[in-house]
């Protein structure tokens, strides 16, 4: 309805403040009497903390306090938690070591905090931190997941013998054994999914304030889910009960998962604000972000796929070792299990699947969900496998995929997921047409004549988004429900405020959510505001991650709007002396259908609040709340095809074309969707070609700055050709599926498939740097 | 950053005098290396003497067979200079590819040479072209100037004031950038002097910093053509190795960038 409703390419409302430098971020918050925190971090990957001497530091100018890990233990602040319980195949619960917010006895990764200096200025805190003497006794360290599980490897936590957190499995091992015994061909593949550093543009930050008179805390923090932060800080860390703790996530400059978690620094800032009875600010720098923001991915896998004589897939067997780093972060346990192995059926009919996942501790930064979270790892493995199989079976990779596509929906995979709807042929056909797949052979021949190696690579991804049905995830070990809430306030003069439980940190909620209202009421989006990110304003919400804000949060908005509209129609019908069933909503008016009788929304709203003439028994006001708990995940899917050239002299990859055909269901704002896909593709291509966190054998992060960690730049990326094929999601009232992670999930396999096609060597790990590609060509 | 005393020098003499007053002074030109290092608290000079605004240190002069670039001239000015483009187009081209626009507006040739980062671009041009580094005290031949990683012939308190390049018959530069930092993973500058000599220098490759590449010089002396390098082998020993490029990969880049530099030189 209207030019600003669903499907309109509306310019983002929030961009005015962002592009004019008027965003309001945590570091912009200033408080009277504010002090500054600077953390003292371990330079060692594994060491005993034998003593901390702050005598000299305390004498330095401006120093208010030096607080240590032992003090936070003494004050009974809780250890950090992992919120998803995974059970090993032998029935035992996962084995976790304790993670105190600052290490009192042992440090287990470079950058782990052991103490904090609170001072009048940031520089004074830094100066004093250099005067704090920490006595470390170095211990042997292990950073590589394969090394960590060997006998004799350094042990991180006594609770987890052999450094193994869990040894989990899913699927039917016997059925897979049968499938392989009948196979005409078996394809095997070993691969690494490289560790990534999230690198949100805004580093993490916290401003904590303790009000002694009210015994009340306020925390400004860079969070994707302020209510979850408050819940965890209250229920598990004993900082304060919920009604005595307000958490505010103002504008947040990117998250990609890394701002889901409640980190030590935010906890310490809150705790310290009471200790020193001053507001405490901590703003992380880029170096701290590299060392302490939860990293992503880091899998080593072996996969085998069985085919019959007609190239139909019979079975898939996967064994994955997942590197968790030194501690179990908030949702880390779920990422290589229920967010990974449950997607191993991909877009294909695979009658039997069996996957084992071994979660492993190492002396590295903790690993958790990062854009896609488990699904990029699954998609990469499966789509590298399909390409490898096509080459081994000597069939066209698109034909092999099409032959094995799921065509009937709903489809129950052997690994929990029940796909509701999709059209995988439509996506791959659209992508093949867009890139002129049929003409590739001729283009490759021409490139060869020019001395270039040209390749083409396909990736057909599916993801489970709209996280998630609460009962289902609860049965799988999740500690929380993953519903979403929304409150709609129609103000007395007819303007509207939407209070969603999700939180925008780049997604454009302030525009798309308004478009949902505009669609339903026919009002301009300028009459609608989004209020989010403050636990004092929004009653509760589960936050933004897993491409859930529109699929789950949007549905909650629709449910709340249905209640608002039902009441408003009663008021309008009463005012117009018409039957409620005859009232329709058009262009901001409530009309009696088939007549010229109408009452505008502001008059309905005013009537609701003056309450002079409401239907008998009706409560005044026009404000409704809804909670929406999805019945299933949503399943965005699509096909990406990448065409590129490799320079044999240098191993450098140059893109020729990159096409994406995505099925996200209904698009609320196609422009914002395209932006999300562009960003996701950049991260997927970044993983494939550029990004990789590298640790040396002593556990030092070699890629600890942008001098060595290759962030994608604009000139590293091609111009993307995007298109959409649409099957509407039947599981939610908007028909939406979510689009935030697709690019990051599907892109990397397309790129590596294309490079390996170009160079004629399938042995190539990510990131496919020029050095690695050159060696793959020349040996 | 630790506290430091900042001085903006009004002349070369003033800069030298201010430098002498500090207990641990550093000259500041474009600040593209010194300032990030100071921000990370890895350097703590007592005094910072800013030479970037000294009028006598900015400008480009082309006369006869010599291009003289004063030390505080930013890369952008060199890249945009019609005189440089005409006399030594490879030098203007090199300057246009240093860092990014922000770096090119601030970074200077003198700062780059004094810092002698093993992956910087200018040292390759200075060495291959046989340039002369002029300081407030003397003239130093390129051969004598570079002394290994981040090390030069400059004495404490000595300021580079200008660099003089003899105009070659032909010259070309080809760089393969480090994917992360965009410094030269390996860059090769080839030059054929008007007397017919061939000089080739590589940056980013050697553990000893910028270096002459004998095998390529020999091959190009015999035949100034990219194809003349087809049979050349560059030894990997003594070359840098890191996560971005192994020594044998860099050895290959020296040859391939050498070929592309010859092609660029024409």
pLDDT tens profile A441-472: 999 999 999 999 999 999 999 999 998 899 99
Sheet hosting strand A528-530, strand order edge to edge: A528-530, A496-500, A484-490, A623-628
Does residue B9 carry a pLDDT above 90?
yes
In the prediction, which pLDDT does A392 show? 98
**Comparing C-alpha atoms, which of A356, A360, A363, A304 is closest to residue A332?**
A360
Does residue A166 carry a pLDDT above 80?
yes
Residue B123 sits in the same domain as residue B136: yes
* A114 pLDDT tier (thresholds 50, 70, 90): very high
**Comparing C-alpha atoms, which of A705, A702, A134 is closest to residue B37?**
A705
Q: Taking CB atoms and an 8 Å limit, are A650 and B244 in contact across chains?
A: no
* B71 pLDDT tier (thresholds 50, 70, 90): very high
Does residue A213 carry a pLDDT above 60?
yes
- pLDDT (tens digit per residue) in A489-502: 999 999 999 999 99
* Three-class secondary structure assignment of A150-213: CCCCCCCCCCCHHHEEEEEEEECHHHHHHHHHCCCEEEEEEEEECCECCCCCCCCEEEEEEECC
Specify the CATH number for the domain of residue B136. Answer: 3.30.465.10
Q: In chain A, which residues have their Cβ closer than 8 Å to the Cβ of B245?
A: 770-771
Cα–Cα distance list, B257 to A733, B190, B222, B225 (Å): 59, 10, 19, 13
- pLDDT (tens digit per residue) in B127-164: 999 999 999 999 999 999 999 999 999 999 999 999 99
Q: How far apart are CA B39 and CA A771, in angstroms?
A: 32
Gap between the terminal Cα atoms of chain A: 61
Residue B24 sits in the same domain as residue B66: no
Does residue A273 carry a pLDDT above 80?
yes
Residue B183 sits in the same domain as residue B142: no
Cα–Cα distance list, A369 to A160, A346, A767 (Å): 22, 20, 19
Q: In chain B, which residues have their Cβ closer than 8 Å to the Cβ of A710?
A: 179-180
Residue B158 sits in the same domain as residue B218: no
Same fold across A140-192+296-394 and A420-465+631-779: yes
Q: Taking CB atoms and an 8 Å limit, are B245 and A771 in contact across chains?
A: yes
What is the count of structural domains for chain B? 3
Tokens of A704: 């600890």
Of A287, A690, A694, the CB nearest to B179: A690
In the prediction, which pLDDT does A468 show? 87
Q: Taking CB atoms and an 8 Å limit, are A650 and B179 in contact across chains?
A: no
Residue B71 sits in the same domain as residue B157: yes
β-bridge mates for residue A761, sequence order: none
User: Which chain A residues touch B if contact means CB-CB below 8 Å?
Assistant: 123, 126, 287, 649-652, 690, 694, 702-703, 706-711, 716, 769-771, 774-775, 778
Q: Taking CB atoms and an 8 Å limit, are B249 and A690 in contact across chains?
A: no
What is the average pLDDT across A105-133? 98
Residue B153 sits in the same domain as residue B65: yes
Sign of CA dihedral A253, A258, A260, A264: negative
Q: Taking CB atoms and an 8 Å limit, are B249 and A708 in contact across chains?
A: no
Tokens of B194: 């008007």
Of A650, A711, A769, the CB nearest to B244: A769
Nearest-Cα residue of chain A relative to residue B244: A771
Write the class of the CATH domain A140-192+296-394. Answer: alpha beta
What is the average pLDDT across A576-594? 96
Sheet hosting strand A133-138, strand order edge to edge: A106-107, A47-53, A133-138
In the prediction, which pLDDT does A3 show? 85
Does residue B24 carry a pLDDT above 60?
yes
Owning domain of residue B152:
59-166
Q: In chain A, which residues have their Cβ closer than 8 Å to the Cβ of B204?
A: none
Does residue A19 carry a pLDDT above 60?
yes
In chain A, where are the structural domains located? 15-20+484-628, 31-139+202-253+259-292, 140-192+296-394, 420-465+631-779
Of B1, B180, B252, the CB nearest to A708: B180
Of A123, A702, A769, the CB nearest to B179: A769
What is the average pLDDT across B176-194? 97
Q: Is B246 on the interface with A (CB under 8 A)?
A: yes
Nearest-Cα residue of chain B relative to residue A648: B256
Does residue A537 carry a pLDDT above 60?
yes
In the prediction, which pLDDT does A2 show? 63
Residues B187, B90: contact at Cβ < 8 Å?
no
Percentage above 90 pLDDT, chain B: 100
Sign of CA dihedral A469, A261, A234, A24: negative
Q: In chain A, which residues have their Cβ closer than 8 Å to the Cβ of B249?
A: 651, 770-771, 774-775
Suggest the residue from A652, A712, A771 to mutate for an interface test with chain B (most B CBs closer than 10 A).
Answer: A771
Does residue A779 carry a pLDDT above 90?
no
Suggest the residue from B1, B39, B101, B180 to mutate for an interface test with chain A (most A CBs closer than 10 A).
Answer: B180
Cα–Cα distance list, A245 to A29, A195, A232, A281 (Å): 17, 35, 11, 17
Collapsed DSSP state (helix, strand, coil) of residue A654:
strand
Residue B185 sits in the same domain as residue B238: yes
Other CB atoms within a 10 A radius of the CB of residue B192 amount to: 21
Does residue A320 carry a pLDDT above 80?
yes
Q: Taking CB atoms and an 8 Å limit, are A771 and B180 in contact across chains?
A: no
Mean pLDDT of chain A: 97
The CATH number of domain A420-465+631-779 is 3.90.1300.10: no
Q: What is residue A39's DSSP assignment? A: E
Residues B93, B104: contact at Cβ < 8 Å?
no
Residues in chain A: 779
Tokens of B142: 């390129």
Q: In chain A, which residues have their Cβ closer than 8 Å to the Cβ of B258?
A: none
What is the average pLDDT across A288-301? 98
Tokens of B243: 């996560």
Q: Taking CB atoms and an 8 Å limit, are B243 and A694 in contact across chains?
A: yes
Residue B194 sits in the same domain as residue B243: yes
Q: Taking CB atoms and an 8 Å limit, are A708 and B243 in contact across chains?
A: yes
Residue B180 sits in the same domain as residue B240: yes
Q: Which of B133, B166, B199 is the last residue of a domain?
A: B166
Tokens of A168: 């989990």
CATH number attached to the domain at A31-139+202-253+259-292: 3.90.1170.50
Q: Which of B124, B148, B166 is the last residue of a domain?
A: B166
Q: Is B263 on the interface with A (CB under 8 A)?
A: no
Of A287, A709, A774, the CB nearest to B252: A774
The CATH number of domain A15-20+484-628 is 3.30.365.10: yes
Does residue A1 carry a pLDDT above 60?
no
Q: In chain A, which residues have their Cβ closer than 8 Å to the Cβ of B181?
A: 706-708
Count Cβ neighbours within 10 Å for each residue of A736-768 and write b for 16 or more, e otherwise. Answer: bbbbbbbbbbbbbbbbbbbbbbbbeebebebbb
Q: In chain A, which residues have their Cβ closer than 8 Å to the Cβ of B179?
A: 690, 710, 716, 769-770
């Amino acid at each position: 309805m209207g030019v600003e409703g669903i499907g309109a390419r509306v310019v983002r409302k929030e961009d005015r403040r962002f592009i004019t430098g008027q965003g309001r971020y945590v570091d912009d918050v200033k408080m009277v009497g504010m002090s500054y925190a600077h953390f003292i971090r371990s330079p060692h990957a594994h060491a005993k903390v034998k003593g901390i001497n702050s005598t000299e530091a305390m004498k330095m100018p401006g120093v208010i306090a030096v607080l240590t890990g032992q003090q936070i233990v003494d004050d009974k602040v809780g250890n950090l938690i992992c919120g998803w319980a995974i059970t090993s195949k032998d029935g035992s619960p996962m084995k976790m070591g304790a993670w105190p917010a600052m290490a009192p006895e042992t440090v287990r990764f470079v950058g782990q905090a052991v103490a904090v200096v609170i001072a009048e200025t940031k520089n004074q805190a830094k100066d004093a931190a250099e005067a704090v003497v920490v006595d470390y006794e170095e211990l042997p360290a292990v950073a590589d997941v394969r090394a960590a599980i060997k006998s004799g490897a350094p042990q991180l936590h006594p609770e987890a013998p052999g450094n193994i957190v869990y040894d989990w499995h899913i699927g039917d091992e016997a059925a897979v054994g049968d499938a392989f015994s009948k196979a005409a061909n078996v394809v095997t593949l070993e691969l690494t999914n490289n560790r990534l550093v999230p690198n949100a543009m805004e580093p993490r930050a916290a401003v904590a304030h303790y009000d002694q008179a009210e015994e009340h805390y306020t925390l400004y923090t860079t969070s994707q889910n302020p209510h979850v932060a408050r819940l965890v800080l209250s229920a598990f860390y004993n900082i304060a009960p919920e009604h005595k703790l307000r958490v505010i996530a103002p504008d947040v400059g990117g998250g990609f998962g890394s701002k889901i978690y409640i980190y030590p620094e935010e906890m310490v800032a809150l705790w310290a604000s009471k200790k020193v009875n001053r507001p405490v600010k901590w703003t992380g720098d880029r170096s701290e972000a590299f060392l302490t923001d939860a990293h992503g991915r880091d899998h080593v896998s072996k996969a085998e796929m069985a085919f019959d004589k007609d190239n139909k897939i019979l079975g898939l067997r996967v064994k994955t070792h997942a590197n968790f780093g030194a501690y179990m972060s908030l949702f880390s346990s779920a990422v290589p299990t229920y967010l990974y192995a449950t997607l191993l059926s991909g877009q294909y009919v695979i009658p039997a699947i069996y996957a084992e996942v071994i979660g492993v501790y190492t002396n590295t930064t903790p690993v958790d969900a990062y854009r896609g979270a488990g699904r990029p790892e699954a998609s990469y493995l499966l789509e590298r496998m399909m390409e490898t199989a096509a080459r081994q079976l000597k069939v066209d990779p698109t034909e092999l995929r099409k032959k094995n596509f799921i065509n009937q929906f709903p489809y129950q995979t052997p690994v929990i997921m029940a796909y509701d709807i999709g059209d995988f042929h439509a996506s791959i056909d659209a992508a093949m047409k867009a890139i002129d797949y049929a003409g590739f052979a001729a283009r490759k021949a021409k490139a060869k004549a020019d001395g270039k190696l040209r390749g083409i690579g396909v990736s057909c991804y599916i993801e489970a988004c709209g996280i998630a049905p609460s009962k289902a995830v609860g049965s799988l070990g999740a500690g929380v429900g993953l519903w979403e809430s929304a409150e709609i306030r129609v103000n007395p003069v007819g303007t509207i405020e939407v209070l969603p439980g999700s939180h925008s940190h780049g997604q454009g909620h302030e525009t798309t959510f308004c478009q949902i209202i505009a669609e339903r009421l026919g009002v301009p989006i300028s009459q609608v505001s989004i209020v989010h990110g403050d636990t004092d304003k929004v009653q509760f919400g589960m936050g933004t991650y897993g491409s859930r804000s529109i699929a789950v949060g949007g549905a909650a908005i629709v449910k709340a709007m249905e209640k608002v509209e039902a009441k408003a129609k009663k008021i309008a019908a009463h005012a117009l002396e018409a039957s409620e069933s005859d009232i329709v909503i058009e262009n901001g008016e409530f009309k009696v259908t088939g007549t010229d009788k109408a009452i505008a929304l502001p008059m309905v709203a005013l009537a609701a609040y003056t309450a002079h003439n409401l239907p008998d028994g009706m409560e005044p006001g026009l404000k409704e709340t809804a909670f929406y708990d999805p019945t299933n995940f949503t399943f965005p899917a699509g096909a990406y095809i990448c065409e590129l050239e490799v320079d044999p002299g240098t191993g450098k990859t140059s893109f020729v074309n990159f096409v994406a055909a995505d099925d996200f269901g209904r698009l609320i704002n196609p422009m914002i969707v395209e932006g999300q896909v562009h960003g996701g593709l950049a991260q997927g291509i970044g993983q494939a070609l550029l990004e990789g966190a590298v640790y040396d054998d002593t556990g030092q992060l070699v890629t600890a700055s942008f001098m060595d960690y290759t962030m994608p730049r604009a000139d590293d990326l091609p111009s993307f050709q995007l298109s959409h094929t649409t099957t509407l999601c039947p599981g939610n009232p908007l028909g939406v599926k979510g689009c935030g992670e697709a690019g990051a999930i599907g892109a990397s396999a397309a790129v590596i498939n294309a490079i390996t096609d170009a160079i004629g060597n399938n042995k190539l790990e990510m990131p496919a740097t020029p050095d690695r590609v050159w060696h793959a060509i020349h040996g | 950053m630790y506290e430091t005393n900042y001085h903006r020098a009004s002349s070369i003499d003033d800069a030298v005098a201010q430098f002498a007053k500090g207990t641990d002074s550093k000259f500041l030109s474009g600040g593209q290396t010194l300032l990030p290092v100071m921000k990370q608290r890895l350097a703590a000079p007592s005094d910072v003497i800013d030479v970037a605004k000294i009028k006598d240190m900015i400008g480009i002069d082309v006369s006869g067979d010599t291009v003289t670039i004063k030390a505080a001239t930013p890369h952008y000015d060199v890249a945009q200079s019609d005189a440089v483009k005409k006399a030594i187009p490879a030098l203007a081209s090199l300057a246009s590819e240093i860092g990014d626009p922000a770096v090119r507006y601030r970074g200077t040739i003198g700062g780059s040479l004094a810092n002698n980062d093993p992956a910087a671009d200018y040292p390759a041009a200075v060495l291959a072209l046989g340039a002369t580094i002029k300081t407030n005290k003397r003239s130093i031949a390129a051969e004598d100037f570079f002394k290994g990683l981040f090390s030069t012939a400059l004495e404490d308190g000595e300021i580079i004031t200008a660099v003089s390049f003899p105009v070659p018959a032909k010259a070309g530069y080809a760089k393969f950038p480090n994917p992360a930092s965009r410094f030269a993973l390996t860059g090769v500058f080839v030059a054929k002097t008007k007397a017919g000599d061939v000089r080739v220098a590589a940056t980013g490759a050697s553990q000893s910093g910028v270096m002459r590449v004998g095998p390529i010089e020999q091959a190009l002396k015999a035949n100034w053509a990219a194809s003349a390098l087809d049979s050349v082998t560059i030894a990997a020993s003594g070359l840098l190795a890191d996560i971005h490029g192994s020594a044998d990969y860099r050895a290959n880049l020296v040859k391939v960038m050498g070929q592309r530099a010859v092609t660029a030189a024409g």
